[in-house]
Structures are given as structure tokens and as C-alpha cells.
Amino acid sequence: MTPGYAVVLLAVDGLQMAVRQELSSRYCPHGKAAFLMRCLALFAVFAAAALALFLAARSTKRPSARTPLYIAAGVLLLFAIGSGALVLYGLSGCSGAAAEGLIWDWP
């Protein structure tokens, strides 16, 4: 390996390290645990609303209102599940300290 080639490799490696660091620290929350608890609470509200709609659909006397209520319950539940998965996926890329000024503050 010639010295010039080694210098280029080192520079590229350093650049890649810097980009990797940026990608894993931007838009991360200050505290993962607190952030996850807030997310859990928020999506639990959606899941509870879905459950309430599901129970309302089961107990309703009007057959015409049953299907829309079931669909609304399904939509709320899927939203909670999908958003939770999205948050977890995004959060899984955070390692190290959060970049100040580019913080993920709420879901």
C-alpha cells in the first residue's frame, strides 16, 4: 500500500465515521426511557379508545352502526401499532449522546 493511498483511505474512513456519528445522534431524545414511557402512554390512549369503540360496536342495537364502529376501532388500533413500530424503529438507530438543537422531543 502506497502512503498516498493510505492517507486517502484514512480520510474516507474518518469521514464515514463522522457521518455515522451524525446519523446516530441527530433527532434522538435526551432520555430513551422517559421518551419510550411517553410514547407508551400516548399509544395506550389510542388502544384504549379502540377497545372502547370495539365494545360499543358489540353492544350497539343498530346493525347499521356496527360496521363503522368496528372499522373505526380497527383504524385506531392499527394507528397505535404502526406508530409504535415506527417510533421503536427510529429509536433503534440512536446510539450515544443526542445532538443538541436536533432533538426528538415527542412522538
Partner 1 sequence: MDTIWSLGARYCVRQDAHAFMWLWGLFLALAGAALIVRGRGRRFGAGVLLFFAACTGVLGFVILYACYASAPYSMGLGAPSVSAVSLTTLMCLSQDAFSKATGWTIVVLSCSAALGLIAWGRSRGRTALPRACSYVGAALLLLVAVAAGFGAVFVFSWCSSSRLF
Q: Smallest distance from the beta carbon of 72 to partner 1, in angstroms? A: 7
CB atoms near residue 53 (< 10 Å)? 20
Q: Which of 7, 60, 82, 97 binds partner 1 (CB under 8 A)?
A: 82
Q: Smallest distance from the beta carbon of 107 to partner 1, in angstroms? A: 7
Which residue type does 107 have?
Answer: P
Place of cell 350497539: 60
The smaller minimum CB distance to partner 1, of residues 11 and 55, is found at 11
Q: Smallest distance from the beta carbon of 27 to partner 1, in angstroms? A: 4
Per CB under 8 A, the segment of 1-9, 52-60, 65-73 that binds partner 1 is 65-73
Contact residues for partner 1, defined by CB under 8 A:
12, 15-16, 18-20, 22-24, 26-28, 67-68, 71-72, 74-75, 78-79, 82-83, 86-87, 89-94, 104, 107
